[in-house]
Amino acid sequence: MLPPISSQSPESLKNWLVQHNEPTYRADQILQWVHQKAAVDWSAMSNIPDSLRNQLAEAFQFSTVEAAQEQGSLDTTLKYLWKLNDGQFVESVLIPANPALYGESSDRHTLCVSTQVGCAYGCRFCASGLGGFKRNLTPAEIVDQVLAVERIRRDAASARERLITNLVIMGMGEPMANYENLMEALETLNAEWGAGIGARKITISTSGLVPRILDLAHHPKQYRLAISLHGATDAVREKIMPINQRYPLKELAAAASEYQSVKNGMITLEYILIEGINDHPEQISPLAQLATELRAKVNLIPYNHVDGLEWNRPSIGTQDAFLNGLKALGTPVTLRREKGHDIDAACGQLRLRTEKELAEEAL
């Protein structure tokens, strides 16, 4: 396989140009086409001579992800299923602005990207963990999810400005378990010469890998942190998230608190409401307490049913009671009820379904 163009830094591309007796200013032009102008292929690079385009095509892979399926609509959520070089699938979800959630203004779009094929953490409610862990995504495979959506949408909307202004690292996989590759990808997505997405507009979600949360706290960039809490007491959390045995709530809270004090940035506590599992009013007070301690906001998400799993979302009444219970204690809280999540459900599920279909076709 050729090295991906999206993993070239300006320096490495300049070195390559020098070796090929080409002027180094071409690096900026090429990277602009790749990261900013959403070129759909080498031939779109109109200010690059043919001979150089041909050499580039022989030296670099244009994209490491190929669209296998698109589902949904632009005013709710759009899901993309990507096929990787080795035939594995991951997905991204394009979400229209929701200013209350991650602080973006209303003409913005957030892309949710994957960081691994499968997941090793085995949260009991999650589709991504069902088939176990397959592999980490490379930095280029993470960057290319963003570039590919820009290319597809640019095609559809012709010559519009950049679409994606915010990123949430909440697709398939545990981002913190692929920390090095993720940081390399984010460096490119954040760079002026890259996608130019502000660090504060990038939110990394984790099930609670304490050492990596501490790394992030001391990372020079101001990436935001979301923690998949889903239980406000160890008793509840360890029933659904095996990672809680390794890093119980006390340690998780200490790491999050360190992040908060170093970054002075808003932490989001994600809390999926699962019927009869974590929706009991007894969870409200410890959750509110944790949010206060971390100066965090709580994002309640009604659970999306996963085929083959026994869990369900609670009634609207129970959801509202939980929401109002938190509000009454002064906790900043939102309850997310997007349509897209009802129709095609959370990350991980599209891939699962496609793999099932492929397996059935193969029979």
Point out which residues bind ligand SAH (CB under 6 A): 123, 125-126, 170, 174-175, 205-207, 228, 230, 270, 272, 301, 303-304, 306, 346-347
Please give the structure tokens belonging to residue 308. Answer: 């083959």
- Measure the CA–CA gap between 34 and 51, rounded to whole angstroms: 18
* Contact by Cβ (8 Å): 322, 280: no
181 binds, among ligand SF4, ligand SAH, none (CB under 5 to 8 A by kind): none
Per CB under 6 A, the list member of 78, 123, 266, 287 interacting with ligand SF4 is 123
Q: Please tell me the chain's helix, strand, coil percentages from 3-state DSSP, rounded to the nearest 5.
A: 45, 20, 35
Sign of torsion over alpha carbons 303, 133, 258, 225: negative
Residue 317 beta carbon to ligand SAH: minimum distance, rounded to whole angstroms? 19
Joined tokens for residue 271: 């809390």
- Please choose which of ligand SF4, ligand SAH, none residue 129 contacts, taking the beta carbon within 5 to 8 angstroms, the exact cut-off set by kind: ligand SF4
| Binding to ligand SF4 in span 229-268, by CB under 6 A | none
Q: Name the active-site residue from 119, 123, 126, 347.
A: 347
**Count of other CB atoms within 10 angstroms of residue 265:** 16
When the beta carbons of 175 and 194 are compared against ligand SF4, the nearer one is 175
CB of 58 to ligand SAH, least distance (A): 37
Which entry of ligand SAH, ligand SF4, none binds 4, CB below 5 to 8 A by partner kind? Answer: none
Pick 166 or 244: Cβ nearer ligand SF4 = 244
Distance in angstroms (rounded) separating the CA atoms of residues 346 and 65: 20
306 binds, among ligand SF4, ligand SAH, none (CB under 5 to 8 A by kind): ligand SAH
Which H or E run contains 299?
strand 297-302
| Coil/strand/helix, residue 209 | coil
Residue 119 touches ligand SF4, criterion: CB under 6 A? yes
Q: Does 129 bind ligand SF4 (CB under 6 A)?
A: yes
In Å, how far are 32, 36, 222 from 58, measured between CA atoms? 19, 22, 37
For ligand SF4, the binding residue among 122, 265, 286, 325 (CB under 6 A) is: 122
- The CA distance from 324 to 301, in Å, is 14
Minimum CB distance to ligand SF4 smaller for 132 or for 276: 132
- Amino acid type, 320: D
Report if residue 121 touches ligand SF4, rule: CB under 6 A: yes
Number of Cβ atoms within 10 Å of the Cβ of 317: 8
Catalytic residue among 22, 91, 141, 150: 91
| 186 vs 306, beta carbon nearer ligand SAH | 306
Q: Which of residues 180-219 bind ligand SF4 (CB under 6 A)?
A: 207
Q: Catalytic annotation on 91?
A: yes
Torsion of CA 340, 345, 349, 355, to 10 degrees: -60
- Establish if 174 lies at the interface with ligand SF4 (CB under 6 A): yes
Q: DSSP 3-state assignment of 294?
A: helix
Q: Which is nearer to ligand SAH, 30 or 170 (CB)?
A: 170
- Determine, following the binding rule CB under 6 A, whether residue 128 of this chain makes contact with ligand SF4: yes
Are residues 210 and 188 in contact, defined by beta-carbon separation less than 8 angstroms? Answer: no
Of these partners, ligand SAH, ligand SF4, none, which one is at the site of residue 122 (CB under 5 to 8 Å by kind)?
A: ligand SF4
Taking a C-beta distance cutoff of 8 angstroms, is the pair 6, 188 a contact? yes
Q: CB of residue 205 vs ligand SF4: minimum separation in angstroms?
A: 7
Q: For tokens 């010559």, what's the residue?
A: 159
Q: Which amino acid is at 140?
A: A
Please say if 347 is a catalytic residue: yes
Residues that bind ligand SF4 (CB under 6 A): 119, 121-123, 126, 128-129, 173-174, 207, 228
Q: Which residues are catalytic?
A: 91, 347
